[in-house]
Amino acid sequence: MSDVTPRLAVQKTYKLYIGGRFPRSESGRSYQVSDATGRFLANAAMASRKDVRDAVVAARKAGPAWSGASAYNRGQVLYRVAEVLEGRRGQFVDEVVAAEGLSVGTATSLVAAVVDRWVWYAGWADKLAQVVGSSNPVAGPYFDFTVPEPTGVVGVVAPQSSSLLGLVSVLAPVIVTGNTAVLLASERRPLPAISLAEVLATSDVPAGVVNVLTGRTAELTPWLAAHMDVNALDLCGLTDTALAHAAEEAAADNLKRVLRPSTADPDGRAEPDWSAEPGLERMTAFIEHKTVWHPVGI
């Protein structure tokens, strides 16, 4: 007869991630998340308009310190995220298998690619300014420099199908350049996003630099797009053409920079191939260029 006492597994409570904390939605709502076969996985918090506002406030508050940190330091922080992800690969493999219905082998390769992508972006932190900035030739006794600066608070609608690799591929380039982010996780596959938030919280990422909301994309996107303290939007996760157009129109009220979804296909909007090697486009999409003149000899 076994001496092992049967026990019930501790079920995980998935919450939002705002300002470095894990609150429940102020609305008290939640919704069911199912795995790739339709079986119940967990209840996720259903964020509200108030949660969007709180996330934007947290992102704005964190902005000056994060953008003011040295590029080298931001690279160190992103590399630390990769270190923690590496140590929790097994957990993420299980979550990707459940969320996307992949085989264990495929999910293992995907999670390895996620870790590698964090490292890739970490390496660009102190190199991007040299690539996209310049020292400009001028006719006169002046130095003339063009330097990149972060746009500010960026709202990101995460990819709907790629719950982890796509998520990291749109989040990392936003924060590596000094922006802060309000991320709307995949509505159908939100659990890896909250687990990633736990990694961010236990790494060196300052509170408020990344804020993660779960819930209904169609409900939250209009409030995020119209928020006057959001400076830019990445709408890559919008599969609804009408919702994407409405978000772009709302963003025009305060001239937000908008990265549009992929070109529509017969089945909706095709997402990019997230496994492809990323270029610089998602980093340069959310930076501004400032040109500085300075007299020679002063």
> Average pLDDT of 176-189?
96
What's the pLDDT score for residue 270? Answer: 64
Tokens 């972060």 belong to residue = 150
Helix (H) or strand (E) holding 41: strand 40-45
Amino acid at 68: G
> What value does the mean pLDDT take over residues 2-15?
79
pLDDT surpasses 80 at 280 = yes
Tell me the pLDDT band of 52, cut-offs 50, 70 and 90: very high
Tokens 């596959």 identify what position? 189
Q: What is the H or E stretch that residue 44 is in?
A: strand 40-45
DSSP β-bridge partners for residue 149: 288
| Confidence band, pLDDT 50/70/90 cuts, at residue 147 | confident
Q: Give the closest residue to 262 by CA, choosing from 277, 251, 273.
A: 273
Q: Which pLDDT tens digit goes with each residue over 56-106?
A: 999 999 999 999 999 999 999 999 999 999 999 999 999 999 999 999 999
Instruction: Calculate what percentage of the chain has a pLDDT beyond 70.
Output: 96
pLDDT at residue 2 in the model: 57
H helix intervals, 104-215: 104-124, 128-132, 165-176, 191-202
Statement: residue 6 has pLDDT above 90? no
Res 119: pLDDT: 96
| pLDDT for res 267 | 46
pLDDT at 194 over 90: yes
pLDDT in tens, 220-253: 999 999 999 999 999 999 988 999 999 999 999 8
Tokens of 250: 């709302």
Q: In the 8-state DSSP scheme, what is residue 102? A: -
Question: What's the Cα-to-Cα distance from 83 to each of 74, 88, 114, 116, 145, rounded to whole Å?
Answer: 14, 9, 11, 10, 36
| Residues written for the chain | 298
pLDDT mean across residues, the chain = 91
pLDDT number for residue 201: 95
CB atoms within 10 A of CB 283: 22
Which CATH architecture does the domain made up of 42-295 adopt?
3-Layer(aba) Sandwich (3.40)
Q: Are 297 and 150 in contact (CB under 8 A)?
A: no
Q: Collapse the DSSP code of 224 into the 3-class scheme (helix H, G, I; strand E, B; otherwise coil) and give the result.
A: helix
Q: List phi, psi (to 5°) of 225.
A: -65, -35
pLDDT at res. 3: 65
pLDDT score, position 257: 92
